[in-house]
Amino acid sequence: GSVGAGVGASTEEGGGGSAEETEEEEEDEEELDEEDEEDLEEDEEEEEELDENGIPIKKKKKKIRKKRALLRAPGAPGPEAVNVWNGFEYSIETGIPDLIKTGNDYYLQWNYKLKYKRSATIANAFIDQIQNYFTTTKESGLGAPEIVGIQKNGASVSLSSQDSAYGSLMHSLGVSVDPRPDSGDVVYIFTVRAKREEIRYFYEMDFHANSIFRVPAGSYIRDPFTGETRLVTAAEEFHLRATRREGINIYALPPTQFKEEKERTQDSIYRETSFRDDQIIAGDYIADDQIRWLISQSNTGTEEDDFPVNVSVDASQEIQSVDVHYYRPDDSGTYVLDHTDSASGSLTGVTVPSGWIVQVEVISKVKDAKKNHTILRGAELEGLKADLVVEKVWEGTEKEDCEFHLTGGNGGTLDETLTILKTDTRVEKPNLDKFTSRTGSGKRITYEVREVENPKVELLYESFDRETLSYLFKNKVKESLVPTGVCTDYGVISLEPIVINEYFDQNDNYGHGGNLKGKFRIPARAKSGSSFTIELPDDLIISDKPNATKKFFDIRNDMGTVIGEVYHTSDQVLKFVLNENAYAVADYEGSFEIGTPHPWNDYKRVNGTGPQHGKTYYTGIDVDRRYFYNPSNSGANMVNKSLPFACSYTDREGLLENCDKTLTQSGTVYYKDPIIPTFHAMNKEVIETGPDYVLYNVLLNARGVNGWAEASFIDQMTDSYTLYHGDSAASMAQDIKIYEVEGLRQQLSYKIGTEKMIYPTQALGTAIDATLKWNTGFFNPPMGYPQMGTWSNYIRFEFQHTTNRTILIQMKVKLQPGWSTRNGGKYYNNFWGNKGYGMSVNNAIISENGMTTGIAAGGEMQLSQYSLTLRKTDLNHQPIKNNYALFRLYDKDMQKCADFMTNADGKLLLDGLSRYIRNGTEETGIYYLKEIDAPNGYELSTKVYKIVINAQEKILFGEKGPAGNEDANLQEVTAGTHPEIPNRKLYSVRLRKTDEAGNAKKGARFRLQNVAAGYDMTTPAAKDVSEFVFYNLKPSAADYVLTEEETPDGYVPLPSAITFKVNADGSILCTSAPDPAVYKTELKEDERVFEMTVINKKMAGFRVRKVSDHGNKVLGGAIFVLTPIAPTAGSEIVKVTSYGSGSAYFENLAPGQYRLSERQAPTGYYKSHVTYLVEVDASGNLSVKEEPYLTPVNSEISSIPMLNFSIVNEKERKSALPFTGGGGRAVFGYSGLLLMLTSGLLLAKDPVRSFLGKGNGIRGRVR
């Protein structure tokens, strides 16, 4: 843009100097004030010119009262204007700056043009120099100006410069040009830049040019003071000045321009800075509780003028001081501080000499750090603190307690859970920091609030605002899915009395057996994967070996349909896992039985007597004799106890809570058989197996016969195994432990917990001595014992001082390679005592399943079981809690093993994993794992995972690789680690409400509908949020329709609905016609978000600027009225132009038609009778045309729309004439912030003003 003024020049927005009025002018102005508007039509003035010889020519010219209108968008440069004086003319032109990055710094850079032309007749002596000033103030956001290049008529030149500063508040740079050697047209281009030091919405620099003329005595000039040609009798000096305050509103530019700067601003403490009517307003924190507000005003007019200033601040702060700094252009070539005045918080205006800059500095004290801080007329800083608030609203009357996971904070250290009880509506996290620093380098601190999955509720909607730290979640309770009963009503609900019978079978084996019968209840709408368990007390043993990955038996309903499977997951625990057939519309019951039936004639004796003819007997539930006895009478031959059974139910949906309970039932066991007294209790059983070992117990003299153990016993090794640490005597102390225990004579067992060590070290409290001897070769067994297996070395145990005590021997032995290829695939151990029941082979061992010989034998051996814990997570590695997934485990042949469900913490426990030794070869345990039901709100994973347990007992896990290389992705699972199984979320729809520049806007409400899908959600009326998220959108063949129910104040509503479709796979496709001006979509795959930025255009507005007929003076006090034209709704809007700027603003105009008219002119000026038709279309575009003859208003094309037109108000002329000519209608689109259209309406001639003479001593003043 360019500015300037001078005699013989008509300018757009002022410029040049100012001086006191002449007496003639004062009289003229007085007469003007007295005349009636009806009589004031025209006047005459004399105008002098010089002929080609320099001789003055006088003539009279009619002066036409006219009014001029200039409509201008902020940030747009003004048109070039020319200063002309006595054959010399010049202009300055600034243009729009560029953002330049140098290293890590950013600069705003202008190409400032100085153009001048001198006529051939002007003498060199008249011209001295042209001074060029470049000035920035702190509120401009820029540092010290610097010149990085100068060109003169396209060629690089070098000129000296001067600089000055007033602390950090003002920086100025000056450079002088000598035009005397030049002739014709000259163009200088100064590349001037200033470093961006503060964040601003507007960046600005002040440009000032001063042409100095020195007129020698004896010269004829047209006097700039009087306008007359006169003879100079003594040397004189004149200054012809042009001033321009030029900057850029970064948000008025297209989104791609200054994008990084815009993003930086949006992430900062700066909410608003303004540049309006050549007045800049900005603020900065100078302490956490102190703010410096700066307001600067440049007088670009031709004379001293008054400008309004408002230093009022909001209630969150109080003013501590107000200082007014006056900067003037100095002859040294820079701006300097002239003086500083102190003022108060009631300051309303300042008087500014032409070409000066006044800077008002307001220091305020922050009283409430959680509020945003503002100064009137357009600057705002965000508060440094906030209370993070989470609010909960419900659809319907039912409510539940909800938890929220709060993360983030400065350094990302915050990680905690917030709870909103069903009786509350909100929870706060008070006094959080919002920025890493109070300076421009500070970044917004991120806080994330996520609702913790709650299986009882469905999340419908979420909105939040990162500035206010306000979050709102809307839920509804899944009323239709909640079971009618409480959790303890389900799973195992009753048990029949347990009877453990004592058997002596037809093969003379002695043992026990019984069954377990009970009932279960299944809730309505039970989902596949739900399960219930029963844990038996220590007194009972399930005869089946535990295997969590192998079905034990089926669960059936009363119709015989298989509704699930039972797994023996550990020694005492049975797990009932339901399948899809378990679903029913109502609760129902069923029964189960654990046990194998046997006919009565399988046994010789039952409970010490003959079996009952025709009765069915059971095995499957055995007794652990170490526990099941009568503590007050351990020799009782029938024991009855109340037995506790721990039961639980796990709901696949997590809708049932507090699901643990204990059932009690009586249990009876018999120890009556007459064979019991005949056993001197050399009892042996395997108690543990490992990858390469067997651990077994041998119990001696459980009957407590005096002296029975006072002898020697033999353990004969075979080709099946040897001691674990080696086939030598040195291994005995490591692999054998011997205890004295308290025997149970009737149970042929011992009381658990009574162990006192005898060997390898002797504990206090036992007098028994034990001697162990290692022998090579084999031991001749007692007569009647068969030789089983190939015997090798043996151990002799000798005991003394045993009396009637019971002895427990524990031995750990190592299986020998190839053991399963010998002896029919069985492993053998032989143990003899030198005392027994006659010579019968039945006097040695009681095993798990009954009476055996003195040789313990086993077949295929299942080695130690393993467990693996996995974590179900989202793609951000966060555990998916309270939201259950179901997995199926397959064996190496892809045959189903079992189903497993994640727990409330998102962990998946796979237990019962094993590896096997079969037929003399070692095979690793191989399993495959696949998700068969995903957590709610997540996609089902199609991946297959592989699990390997190798010979070194290492567990390997990973996604199954391609054929031929399945193990490519396997990795060892180390202790304490839990590999992740991630799920992708179903897509949610997130709306971001912005203006055209990308600034978040608050105050919108949306409605999202899909009748076919039964979806209808309107966001709550929360005015302080700008982002909205819709969850759980079901796939539908019909479109989802988004409409804007409420629009942020001052913005144009969304013109039409936006539609999109949710496909069967959860993906989302926009189906409405693309319109980048209305909405933009982006699929954020990593977040599983379909993000839609819904753009509101600023409602139309314009500025009316009142100026005098030459444009040399802005006029306050004019009253303008904007009246809606039916059917446009609303009341008339009345505005008064302000003094100092001459401007009135009409803003936030809804679509429709309006009529603009002048109701009252400034004092001494005509009122215009021309009216204007203002039209705003549905998209916020604005157009203007004159009435009543609808003469088109011409639009000048520029990067930012600008409208120029003039109005001639003469009594004899009834129509308006275009200022720039041409036809057509100007239509303006909103291009960032407010589109302000300026027009000046004037009706009287300008009083003549003189130029500012050197050293006139004018000072600005506050008022």
- Domain assignments of the chain as residue spans, ordered by start: 388-481, 487-643+653-670, 676-782+795-857, 881-935+942-980
Residue 828 has pLDDT above 70, yes or no: no
Q: What is the pLDDT of residues 688-724, one digit of tens each?
A: 776 678 888 888 888 888 888 887 788 878 777 789 9
Collapsed DSSP state (helix, strand, coil) of residue 1106: coil
Residue 77 has pLDDT above 60, yes or no: no
Q: How much is the average pLDDT of 594-598? A: 95
User: Taking the mean position of all CA atoms in its chain, how far away is CA 1214?
Assistant: 63
Token pair, residue 381, equals 């800083």
Residue that the structure tokens 């643990």 belong to? 660
Residue 1161's alpha-carbon distances to 549, 1106, 1184, in angstroms, are: 95, 9, 21
Domain 676-782+795-857: give its CATH code: 2.60.40.740
CATH architecture of 881-935+942-980: Sandwich (2.60)
Q: What is the pLDDT of residues 107-165, one digit of tens each?
A: 999 999 999 987 766 666 577 889 999 999 999 999 999 999 999 999 999 999 999 99
For 1042, what's the count of Cα atoms within 13 Å in the CB-facing half-sphere?
27
By C-alpha distance, which of 322, 317, 367 is closest to 343? 322
pLDDT, residue 372, reads 94
Confirm if 132 and 209 have CB atoms less than 8 A apart.
yes
pLDDT, residue 680, reads 60
Residue 315's alpha-carbon distances to 319, 367, 372, 375, 377, in angstroms, are: 10, 8, 10, 10, 15
Q: How much is the average pLDDT of 825-833? A: 66
pLDDT, residue 53, reads 40
pLDDT, residue 855, reads 36
Least confident of 744-748, 1142-1146, 1204-1208: 1204-1208
Q: What is the pLDDT of residues 741-772, one digit of tens each?
A: 999 988 888 999 999 999 999 988 899 999 99
Topology alike, domains 676-782+795-857 and 881-935+942-980: yes
Q: What is the pLDDT of residues 605-632, one digit of tens each?
A: 999 999 999 999 999 999 998 999 999 9
Cα–Cα distance between 570 and 867 in angstroms, integer?
12
Radius of gyration of the chain (CA): 49
pLDDT, residue 1043, reads 92
Of 321-330, 539-548, 1226-1235, where does the model show the most confidence?
321-330
Instruction: List, in sequence order, every beta strand (DSSP E) within 653-726.
Output: 660-670, 683-689, 693-700, 712-718, 721-723
Cα–Cα distance between 846 and 836 in angstroms, integer?
14
Mean pLDDT, all residues of the chain: 79
pLDDT, residue 924, reads 62
Query: Which DSSP letter does residue 126 get?
Result: G
Give the bridge partners for 712, in sequence order.
798
Q: What is the pLDDT of residues 1-29, one digit of tens each?
A: 222 222 222 223 333 333 333 333 333 33
Least confident of 84-93, 583-592, 1047-1056: 84-93
By C-alpha distance, which of 144, 137, 170, 70 is closest to 279? 137
Residue 31 has pLDDT above 60, yes or no: no
pLDDT, residue 259, reads 73
Collapsed DSSP state (helix, strand, coil) of residue 338: strand
In the structure, how many helices (H) and strands (E) does the chain have? Answer: 3, 98
Q: Hey, how many other C-beta atoms are within 10 angstroms of the C-beta on 478?
A: 17
Residue 1035 has pLDDT above 80, yes or no: yes
What element of type H or E holds 23?
helix 23-34
* pLDDT over 70 percentage in the chain: 79
What element of type H or E holds 1157?
strand 1152-1160
Residue 923 has pLDDT above 50, yes or no: yes
Query: Which DSSP letter does residue 13 get?
Result: S
pLDDT class for 825, splitting at 50, 70, 90?
low
Collapsed DSSP state (helix, strand, coil) of residue 967: helix
Collapsed DSSP state (helix, strand, coil) of residue 260: helix
Give the total residue count for the chain: 1263
Give Cβ neighbours of residue 798 (< 8 Å, ≥ 6 apart).
Answer: 711, 712, 713, 770, 771, 772, 773
487-643+653-670, which class in CATH? mainly beta
Give Cβ neighbours of residue 26 (< 8 Å, ≥ 6 apart).
Answer: none
Q: Is 252 left (phi over 0), alpha (psi -120 to 50) or beta?
A: alpha
Cα–Cα distance between 50 and 44 in angstroms, integer?
20
pLDDT class for 1149, splitting at 50, 70, 90?
confident
pLDDT class for 207, splitting at 50, 70, 90?
very high
* pLDDT over 90 percentage in the chain: 39
Domain 388-481: give its CATH code: 2.60.40.1140
Residue 186's alpha-carbon distances to 107, 702, 792, in angstroms, are: 28, 123, 118
Q: How much is the average pLDDT of 518-542? A: 93
